[in-house]
Amino acid sequence: MRTPIIAGNWKMNKGPKEAAELINALKPLVKDAKATVVVCVPAVDYAAAKTALRGSKIKLGAQNVHYKESGAFTGELSAAMLKEAGVEYVIIGHSERRQYFGETDETVNLRVQAAVEGGLIPIICVGEKKEQREAGYTDALVAYQTLIALTGLTEDQIKKVIIAYEPVWAIGTGLTATDEQANETIGVIRSAIQMKYGKRVSDKVRIQYGGSMNPKNVNGLMAQSEIDGGLIGGASLKAEDFAKVVNFE
Ligand code: PGA
């Protein structure tokens, strides 16, 4: 019912030359993918990536967007700039942005609104830290993070956003949530959306799992009823590995 979506988050890896090489290697390997495929590349790679992506269905994604249209915001990029550069998807509120760059639920929400208004599809990241899971706060936290991020959007806009559930303790650590843990928490996120916006909306929202997802664990995770895709860090940097995730069974 929901088309799966697999997105690569390259983080601060690969300049334009390597970006083109990776995309060119990836293209033939994912040409028959059933899933929507996205590569979220560093900003300096947009032009090279756009050229390399010609003739493929792989979509271009960014890793952040600012919430103002223009102005004195050194180092930031607006939704209109991303759009003009050919970007269609944008990761917002990744835990690394929250942890190292001071992003809050409120700024995440502003960025989500700016992205949607600017015609981009946000991939909104939520997830708990290890101590929050151990203290039993996971469900309340992810529900809150999700609803705050969606504030101000219309129901039709919400249907099109992507949520990525990324337990912080599983990112880049080799630790993955079990299939059941990931499914259960994604179910909590969907219920939170349902309670506020109704089932017609919550049934449409695609919710990914992220955190050490790789060719070995992708099939188990994707077999879960609530999991609609993945946000892939480390394993998106090698064409063969990312293709195996994209072509999950
Ligand atoms: P990882 O990163 O796959 O390397 O754990 C996922 C992410 O941070 O989006």
**Distances from the Cα of 27 to the Cα of 49, 114, 239, angstroms:** 12, 30, 9
Total of domains in the chain: 1
Catalytic residue among 66, 94, 103, 226: 94
Which residues, including other chains, have CB under 8 Å from residue 163's CB and lie 6 or more apart? 123, 124, 125, 126, 146, 189, 205, 206, 207, 208
Whole-model pTM? 0.98
CATH number reported for the structural domain that contains residue 184 in this entry:
3.20.20.70
Q: Note down the domain range covering 33.
A: 5-246
Helix (H/G/I), strand (E/B), else coil: 40: strand
- CA 42 – CA 61 distance, rounded (Å): 9
206, β-bridge pairs: 162
Each of the 249 residues of the chain gets a pLDDT tens digit; together they read: 899 999 999 999 999 999 999 999 999 999 999 999 999 999 999 999 999 999 999 999 999 999 999 999 999 999 999 999 999 999 999 999 999 999 999 999 999 999 999 999 999 999 999 999 999 999 999 999 999 999 999 999 999 999 999 999 999 888 888 999 999 999 999 999 999 999 999 999 999 999 999 999 999 999 999 999 999 999 999 999 999 999 999
Kindly give the distance from the C-alpha atom of residue 98 to the centroid of ligand 1, in angstroms, as a whole number.
Answer: 14
Q: Is 166 a catalytic residue?
A: yes
